[in-house]
Amino acid sequence: MKTIRFSLLLVLALLLIYPLPVRADIAPPDWPSGANPLPGNAATRVRMLSEEVLIDVLGRAPQSSLGQARVTARFTMLNLGDQDERMPVRFPLTFFGQSPGDPVPSSELKDVKVKVNGRPTATRRVEYSWLDEPASPWAEFDVTFPPGVEVPVEVTYLQEGAGEYPFISLEYTLETGAGWDGTIGAADLVVRLPYEASPQNVIFDEQIGWSQTTPGGVFDGREVRWHYEDLEPGWEHNLQVSLVMPPAWRRVLDEQANVERNPADGEAWGRLGKLYKEISRLRRGYRSDPGGQALYRLSLDAYEQALELLPEDAAWHAWFADLLYGHYYYDQYFLDQPDHRELLRALEHLDRALALDPRQEKALAVIEDMSYAMPEAVIFEDDRYELLWLTATPTRLPSETPEPAISTPVLPGSTPAPGAKPSPEPVTQTAPARSPTLALPSPAQVTLTPPESPPQAGPAGGLCGGAALLPLGVAVGIGVRRRPARRNAN
């Protein structure tokens, strides 16, 4: 038999050790998690035979909300003793350790309703504090547990998601169930989405900064399920799930349907590529989980479709370059496995974008970021950017067998192949800048002779989207003034 005092002290000790989920960066505050009910007696013989929790993610939420879920938690309780137990059962209304007096308080659960034996039961709002912790609000209701009789208890409420575009996190705390006698016989937790659940919109194996989905979930149509038996719940069993915000995923579904209806709509393909890119990116990186990698590949394909249909659209060349550069940058600085062809493709699309529109805002932002992060590839000189990697005379590594001349630098660990697709990997763009270690030609081997005016689009320009490179010895001079401060290419 466990005492409620022991349970509270245990939970408090765990909270002191693990006060919040590990955060990789500044993140939103934790919101109410919901929890198993806690007995109000100092000692109890009442056991939680089973519980079923459904976290039903709403497809629509108020404009002020990041996302909401309607939660229904059903418990079957059994008094293993030989006397009636009448007690106040408590349900926390905010995340543990937070209260309205905290510097960054969490919101309370909304619309809390309780049923006992199938009948609505009145609740009262009370406040309890643990040791020196500030008082926290709880919903409290009275229940009588006759010996040997199963008593069903149901709690429903509305939960707010925590996060920032395009991700939210939802939580449910199991560890308060340790206050009842013995173990939890069986526990089933279900997160239900308003559309098909997949690794692309439910993020496993990846921390999104303030949330990491609890391992062990199984996909089943619109649902993700966790099951436990004979559970002695601790902090490690508390459920957390990271999701793409329903409004963001709805836009993806709408654009997918749009390109199916109108496969020749280049703008729709471009919008879809941009959406895929947004939900594959984290604040400081790109998703490396299988779903995130799949989204990166889908973004590549969608941008290529857009540019096949709209080859003269400067904006889509620039946004495609942003995707390629971001992915290369992540591989270079975090995985140390860059595919240099990827950066070359990004430069080609930037070159094309600025040939079509010398003032294209996204292209200028990306190329400025490049000039700071990798001056071997891009420099700013004489009021213009020089794309060195597009104008470099090839150099050969000592171990290479002579081959016919090619129009790109020979770089370590890669065989230049103009127009080749990059390997799909996760990306980030805000790592500390340093120069990649590359076998680049010396300055004497690079001819920098910018034309008097920017290159013009047209059949004679030698510029072909993401496929052909400029001829040897032809420098790309982009006559634009540099911004006074660096701007991230997001």
DSSP string, 102-143: SSSPPPPPEEEEEEETTEEE--EEEEE--TTSPPEEEEEEEE
Rounded Cα–Cα distance for residues 385 and 438 (Å): 20
Structure tokens at 125: 């709002």
Residue 83 confidence (pLDDT) above 70: yes
Q: Are residues 235 and 293 in the same domain?
A: no
Q: What is the mean pLDDT of residues 352-360?
A: 94
* 472 occurs within a structural domain: yes
Residue type, 465: G
User: Is 483 within a domain?
Assistant: no
Distance (Å, whole) CA 462 – CA 469: 8
Residue 281 lies in a domain: yes
Res. 337: pLDDT tops 90: no
Which residues, at least 6 apart from 113, have a Cβ–Cβ distance to it below 8 Å?
Answer: 120, 123, 155, 156, 157
Select, from the ranges 41-50, 97-106, 250-259, the one with the highest average predicted confidence (pLDDT).
250-259
Q: Is 248 domain-assigned?
A: no
What are the C-alpha distances in Å from 70 to residues 138, 175, 342, 465?
19, 21, 44, 48
pLDDT in tens, 378-388: 888 777 788 87
pLDDT at 55: 97
pLDDT for 427 beyond 50? no
In a shared domain, residues 232 and 272: no
Region 339-368: what's the mean pLDDT? Answer: 91
Contact yes or no for 294/199 (Cβ under 8 A): yes
Residue 463 has pLDDT above 80, yes or no: no
The better pLDDT of the pair 187, 488 is held by 187
Whether 254 is covered by a domain: the verdict is: no
347 and 468 fall within a common domain: yes
Q: What's the rounded mean pLDDT across residues 173-182?
A: 87
| Position 64 confidence tier, pLDDT thresholds 50, 70, 90 | confident
- pLDDT for the residue 207: 87
Residue carrying structure tokens 């292209």: 363
- 136 falls within a domain: yes
Please give the pLDDT value at position 132.
Answer: 55
Higher-confidence position of 55 and 38: 55
pLDDT at 237: 87
**Contact (Cβ atoms closer than 8 angstroms) between residue 472 and residue 407:** yes
Q: Quick one: pLDDT band at residue 258, thresholds 50, 70, 90? A: very high
Do 469 and 331 share a domain, yes or no? yes
CATH of the domain at 113: 2.60.40.3680
pLDDT band at 164 (very low <50, low <70, confident <90, very high): confident
Rounded Cα distance between 215 and 172, Å, is 14
CA distance linking residue 228 with residue 204, whole number of Å: 19
Q: Which residue has the higher pLDDT, 390 or 407?
A: 390
pLDDT above 50 (res 446): no
The distance of Cα 193 from the centroid of its chain, to the nearest Å, equals 17
The percentage of residues in the chain with a pLDDT greater than 90, rounded to a whole number, is 45
Q: Are residues 182 and 62 in the same domain?
A: yes
Mean of pLDDT values over 363-368: 92
Q: How confident is the model at residue 97 (pLDDT cuts 50, 70, 90)?
A: very low
Least confident of 30-44, 90-104, 245-259, 451-465: 451-465
User: Greater confidence, 329 or 241?
Assistant: 241
What string of DSSP letters covers 151-208?
Answer: EEEEEEEEEE-EEETTEEEEEEB-GGGGGSSS-EEEEEEEEE-SS---TTTB--S---
236 and 311 part of one domain: no
Residues 204, 293 within the same domain: no
pLDDT, tens digit, for every residue of 20-29? Answer: 332 222 223 3
| pLDDT score at 208 | 85
Are 344 and 212 found together in one domain?
A: no
Q: Check pLDDT > 80 for residue 222.
A: yes
- From 243, 270, 303, the end of a domain falls on 243
Q: Are residues 108 and 165 in the same domain?
A: yes
Final residue of a domain: which of 208, 243, 278? 243
Mean pLDDT is lowest, of 32-41, 190-199, 222-231, 251-260, for 32-41
- CATH code assigned at 428: 1.25.40.10
Q: Are 95 and 76 in contact (CB under 8 A)?
A: no
**What does the pLDDT average to over 284-308?**
93
Q: Which range among 90-104, 314-328, 415-429 has the greatest average pLDDT?
A: 314-328
Longest dimension (CA), the chain: 96
48 in any annotated domain: yes
What is the three-class DSSP state of 240? strand
In this model, does residue 201 exceed pLDDT 60?
yes
For 476, the token pair is 């790309």
Cβ pair 147, 81 in contact under 8 A: yes
Most confident option among 89-93, 206-210, 219-223, 464-468: 219-223
What is the model's pLDDT at position 187?
Answer: 96
Residues 266 and 225 in one domain: no
Is the predicted pLDDT of residue 79 greater than 80, yes or no? yes
Asked whether residue 175 falls in the same domain as residue 314, the answer is: no
Could you tell me if residue 330 is inside a domain? yes
Starting at the edge strand that comes first in sequence, how are the strands of the sheet with 46-57 ordered? 119-121, 110-116, 150-160, 68-79, 46-57, 184-192, 223-231, 218-220
Q: Read off the pLDDT of each residue in 348-356 and give the average, rounded to a whole number.
A: 94
Residue 425 has pLDDT above 80, yes or no: no
What average pLDDT does the structure give for the chain?
Answer: 74
Q: What is the mean pLDDT of residues 348-375?
A: 92
- 99 Cβ neighbours under 8 A, 6+ residues apart: 105, 127, 134, 135, 136, 137
Residue that finishes a domain, picked among 189, 210, 243: 243
Top mean pLDDT of 11-15, 29-33, 425-429, 457-461 is at 29-33
Q: Range of 124's domain?
A: 4-243
Q: Total structural domains in the chain?
A: 2
Distance CA(454)–CA(147), nearest Å, equals: 87
Q: What span, in angstroms and rounded, lies between the C-alpha atoms of 104 and 100? A: 8
Mean pLDDT of 85-105: 64
Query: Do residues 199 and 285 share a domain?
Result: no
Is residue 106 pLDDT above 60, yes or no?
no
